[in-house]
Amino acid sequence: MKERTRANAAPEAPLGDLGRRLAARRIQLGLTRRETAARAGMAAGYLRYLEEHPGATPGAGVLTNLATALETTVTELTGGTVDLPPGIGHAAPAPEFTRLRTGECRALLATHGVGRLAVSTASGPVIVPVNYSVVDGAIVFRTERGATPALAIGYQVAFEVDRIDDAFSQGWSVLVRGPAHAVTDPQERRRLTERAHSAPWAGGSRNLWVRIDPFTVTGRRITV
């Protein structure tokens, strides 16, 4: 079977923790399987084997080469940091701090993923993670009535998204502020369901759609 040539093409069947991490990281970098294998000095067929066979046990040398090719660390590839917060690496010797333009911020937001929602509660401000999507410029997510994210409805809220690269001590963050509303129109709810990037990871019956209309969008980036 021919190697996929589109950089953003999904892997055929990534299986196992290592396989999923390998495939996810190379797609994040915009690399095909063949390009990644060339960087790591291995055959594309072997990389395919590593991605698609959960029982694969590559040696330390192979993992090191893959980590270098994918601009990450062996610890990241093998899931050793799964229970650690991002940003545990040391600061780079000469970092550059820049403010992002509004267009850049919106482009980063549109990648979808998990963001942090800040809401007010009776006992004080609370920040919770939510799986979100961007539809027509608005941030949307699903929750359930009575859950903390539902407290955003009817209020001005803050919503933050970031990406941290511990291996290279760099990253970015985008902050959105604006009013949150419950989506009650049945047609609009169906449209959001069809266009949402993913369902809430927490599972359960989370059928309450919340929409945040950005009033201000700001961002920052740290590069090496």
* CATH code for the domain in which residue 106 is found: 2.30.110.10
C-alpha span between 198 and 206 (Å, rounded): 12
Name, in order, each residue with C-beta under 8 angstroms of 24's C-beta and a sequence gap of 6 or more. Answer: 14
Give the pLDDT score at 9: 41
One-letter amino acid of 150: A
**DSSP state, residue 41:** T
C-alpha span between 206 and 155 (Å, rounded): 20
Give the pLDDT score at 16: 59
Asked if 72 and 102 sit in the same domain, the reply is no
Asked if 35 and 124 sit in the same domain, the reply is no
Token look-up 């009535």 returns: 145
Give the pLDDT score at 10: 42
Q: Which helix (H) or strand (E) holds 138?
A: strand 138-143
Asked if 194 and 106 sit in the same domain, the reply is yes
Residues 182 and 113 sit within 8 Å (Cβ to Cβ):
no
Mean residue pLDDT of the chain comes to 86
Give the pLDDT score at 3: 43
The CATH number that applies at residue 23 is: 1.10.260.40
More confident residue, 203 or 84: 203
Give the pLDDT score at 43: 94
Asked if 48 and 144 sit in the same domain, the reply is no
C-alpha span between 155 and 179 (Å, rounded): 6
More confident residue, 54 or 80: 54
Q: What is the pLDDT of residues 1-27, one digit of tens each?
A: 444 444 444 444 444 588 888 998 999
Nearest Cα residue to 15 out of 42, 49, 43, 57: 49
In a domain, 63, yes or no: yes
Q: What is the pLDDT of residues 26-63, one digit of tens each?
A: 998 999 999 999 999 999 999 999 999 888 889 889 99
- Whether the pLDDT of residue 102 is over 60: the answer is yes
Count of domains observed in the chain: 2
Average of per-residue pLDDT across 137-146: 93
Q: What is the pLDDT of residues 191-215, one digit of tens each?
A: 998 888 877 878 777 889 999 999 9
One-letter amino acid of 172: W
Give the pLDDT score at 193: 86
Asked if 66 and 113 sit in the same domain, the reply is no
Taking the alpha carbons at both ends of the chain, their separation in whole angstroms is 39
Asked if 115 and 178 sit in the same domain, the reply is yes
C-alpha span between 72 and 36 (Å, rounded): 13
Please, what is the angle between helix 16-28 and helix 44-52, to 10°?
120
Please, what is the angle between helix 60-69 and helix 33-40, to 10°?
120
Average of per-residue pLDDT across 84-95: 74
In a domain, 85, yes or no: no
Range of the structural domain that residue 26 is part of: 16-77
